[in-house]
């Protein structure tokens, strides 16, 4: 076969590979076509909000567990101030962890041109500059600088202020009055009096310790808020995991695009040399030239996507866009040496002990019981003791005699004949049971998430190890054989170019599989609520 014939065969092959139908077929083939948001591999971040407390009844106010506000809209009556609304401006957003990390793991975007360039697995395993930002450093920056977490943190001192408010006793009342003051003057024809001046103090007496019950409710609400804040940190860390992996994947997309440009430039030089020898036509040269231009456009798009991914990372770390674009990243998707996490029942038990959202629900049960105690304490209103240390009767005005001084003591007791807070007590009892059911439901959801995350971790780990130990040596051996046969003159240029293209396709599959494995590792951390894998 002549070189001219070989060159002539390449152009139709490239045209077929670039046909719209072929591109659509590749995009529909699996996870590799799932990148549509921002940078390659970047998923929509999971929003983090303290949201409403467990057991709050699901109303918009974000009340605490056991506070027993209406589940179905608002009703009549006063509402408590503890805890304050925790909803975010613009509406409530709640974390849905059902299947976090269990969906399709995005892969590299499909290249606009076939990659004939020299792309090796060693290239994609490069960790980046030594002074780059590692995942551990990014986590530390997130906890310290993230504005969302900083905003949520203010709920804790606000809750402590509510504890202070709940612990304050009502103020006593100071009362003065003048009685029997005539319109004009008293006389024998119009007797009256004597004019009396009173000064008294009324002090409430809390016989059922309502202040103590209110304080315990506020204290329980604070502990729930602490757990919810820890859960907000867990969710925001999952956002960071996704974003950080998106940056790593965007960097690999740039590498693939550069490999495509490099390969096509080398191929273009070869075709031009053949054109000088009249072994190729000008049409062949122009076809390869067009492919190279498309590859260069794809490279620019990949670079912009990498910048966008870094800006998203910078947003989480509270960095300005200009600084975020310049962040060097040191990390890899290929974690081959990792500790074995606990599996099975041990993993589920660890999650039940560690998940802060579960801790919030458990504390929510205590909060609902504290609300029941408060409802019981509210059966009897405060008793008011009246002490009147000064009473002056001006007898000179009424009867023409010397005035006199006296004192008085009284007690005002509300009689609980009709309203003994029966409805609120019954409602508080029901709320305790409701919160227990919510806790059980959340525990089962956590168990399901952990089992799902564990299965994804095991499946992706097995696939990554098979590719590393079995498929990778075979793919490298096939490529080396094709290059040797080309150098020996046994095969033409089209043969070795197709070998490069197929090998680069394997490299893409290798990267996508390890991305899935790396994401599964981090998702397992999120599902358990503790960082058990690096």
Tens digits of per-residue pLDDT, 454-466?
Answer: 999 999 999 999 9
Mean pLDDT in residue range 304-308: 94
Q: Report d(CA 428, CA 375) in Å as an integer.
A: 7
Q: What is the mean pLDDT of the chain?
A: 79
Copy the structure tokens of residue 5.
């014939």
Residue 133 sits in a domain of what CATH number?
1.20.1600.10
Instruction: Examine residue 148 and state whether it is found in any structural domain, yes or no.
Output: yes
Higher per-residue confidence, 120 vs 521: 521
Is residue 390 one of the residues assigned to a domain?
no
**pLDDT tens string 399-428:** 556 778 899 999 999 999 999 999 999 999
Would residue 25 count as lying in a domain? yes
Q: Which long-range contacts (CB under 8 A, 24 or more apart) does 476-481 make?
A: 476/121, 476/503, 478/502, 478/503, 479/503
pLDDT for residue 389: 93
Q: Are strands 173-179 and 195-205 parallel, antiparallel or unpaired?
A: antiparallel
169-179: average pLDDT: 93
- Contacts of residue 362, Cβ cutoff 8 Å, sequence gap at least 6: 439
- pLDDT number for residue 54: 52
C-alpha 44: how far from chain center? 11
| Tally of domains within the chain | 1
> Is 221 within 8 Å of 55 (Cβ atoms)?
no
Q: How far apart are CA 461 and CA 337, in angstroms?
A: 12
In angstroms, the Cα distances linking 485 to 8, 266, 393, 482 are 20, 19, 126, 5
| Residue 117, pLDDT score | 55
DSSP 491: S
What's the mean pLDDT in 26-51?
35
Instruction: Return the pLDDT at 27.
Output: 37
Tokens of 185: 């003057």
pLDDT tens-place string over residues 86-128? 222 333 332 333 333 333 334 555 555 455 555 666 667 788 8
Domain that holds residue 150: 3-169+206-381+416-528
- Binned at pLDDT 50, 70 and 90, residue 38 comes out as very low
> Does residue 180 belong to any structural domain of this protein?
no
Q: Decide if 304 contacts 250 (C-beta within 8 A).
A: no
Give pLDDT, residue 404.
86
The answer to whether 30 touches 24, Cβ cutoff 8 Å, is no
397 domain residue, yes or no: no
What CA–CA distance (Å, rounded) separates 279 from 285? 11
Whether 264 has a pLDDT exceeding 70, the answer reads yes
Q: Is the pLDDT of residue 58 over 60?
A: no
- Is the residue at 279 inside a domain? yes
CA dihedral (7, 259, 304, 334) in degrees, to 10, reads 140
Q: What is the pLDDT of residues 181-193, one digit of tens each?
A: 888 887 777 777 7
Domain presence at residue 197: no
Within-domain flag for 43? yes
By the 10 Å C-beta count (0-12 exposed, 13-18 middle, 19+ buried), 40 is classed as buried
């Amino acid at each position: 076969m002549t070189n001219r014939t070989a060159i002539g065969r390449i152009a139709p092959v490239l045209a077929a590979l670039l046909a719209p139908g072929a591109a659509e077929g590749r995009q529909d083939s699996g996870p590799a076509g799932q990148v549509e948001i921002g940078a390659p591999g970047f998923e929509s971040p999971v929003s983090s909000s303290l949201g409403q407390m467990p057991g709050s009844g699901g109303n918009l106010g974000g009340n605490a567990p056991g506070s027993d506000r209406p589940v179905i809209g608002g009703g009549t009556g006063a509402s408590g101030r503890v805890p304050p609304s925790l909803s975010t401006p613009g509406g409530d957003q709640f974390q849905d962890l059902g299947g976090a990390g269990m969906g399709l793991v995005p892969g590299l975007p499909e290249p606009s041109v076939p990659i004939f360039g020299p792309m090796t697995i060693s290239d994609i395993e490069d960790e980046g500059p030594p002074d780059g930002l590692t995942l551990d450093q990014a986590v530390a920056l997130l906890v310290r600088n993230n504005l969302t977490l900083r905003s949520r943190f203010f709920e804790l001192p606000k809750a402590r202020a509510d504890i202070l408010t709940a612990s304050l006793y009502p103020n006593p009342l100071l009362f003065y009055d003048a009685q029997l003051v005539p319109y004009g003057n008293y006389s024998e024809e119009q007797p009256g009096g004597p004019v009396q001046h009173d000064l008294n103090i009324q002090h409430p007496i809390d016989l059922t310790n309502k202040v103590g019950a209110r304080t315990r409710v506020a204290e329980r609400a604070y502990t729930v808020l602490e757990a919810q804040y820890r859960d907000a940190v867990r969710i925001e860390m999952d956002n960071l995991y996704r974003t950080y992996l998106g940056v790593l994947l965007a960097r690999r997309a740039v590498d693939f695009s550069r490999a495509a440009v490099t390969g096509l430039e080398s191929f273009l030089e070869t075709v031009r040399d053949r054109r000088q020898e009249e072994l190729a036509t000008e049409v062949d040269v122009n076809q390869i030239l067009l492919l190279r231009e498309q590859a260069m456009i794809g490279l620019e798009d990949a670079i912009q996507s990498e910048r966008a991914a870094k800006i998203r990372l910078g947003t989480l770390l509270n960095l300005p866009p200009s600084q975020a674009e310049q962040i060097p990243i040191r990390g890899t998707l290929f974690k081959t040496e990792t500790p074995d996490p606990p599996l099975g029942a041990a993993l589920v038990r660890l999650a039940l002990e560690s998940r802060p959202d579960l801790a919030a629900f458990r504390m929510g049960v205590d909060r609902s019981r504290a609300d029941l105690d408060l409802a019981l304490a509210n059966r009897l209103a405060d008793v008011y003791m009246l002490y009147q240390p000064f009473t002056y009767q001006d007898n000179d005005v009424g009867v023409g005699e010397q005035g006199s001084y006296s004192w008085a003591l009284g007690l005002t007791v509300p009689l609980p004949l009709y309203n003994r807070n029966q409805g609120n007590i019954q409602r508080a009892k029901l709320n305790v049971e409701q919160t227990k059911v919510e806790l059980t439901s959340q525990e089962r959801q956590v168990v399901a998430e952990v089992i799902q995350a564990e299965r994804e971790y095991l499946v992706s780990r097995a696939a990554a190890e098979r590719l590393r130990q079995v498929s990778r040596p075979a793919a490298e051996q096939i490529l080396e054989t094709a290059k040797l046969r080309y150098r020996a003159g046994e095969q033409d240029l089209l043969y070795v170019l197709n070998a490069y293209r197929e090998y680069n396709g394997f490299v893409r599959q290798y990267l996508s599989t390890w991305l899935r494995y790396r994401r599964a590792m981090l998702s397992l951390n999120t599902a358990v609520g503790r960082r058990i894998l690096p």
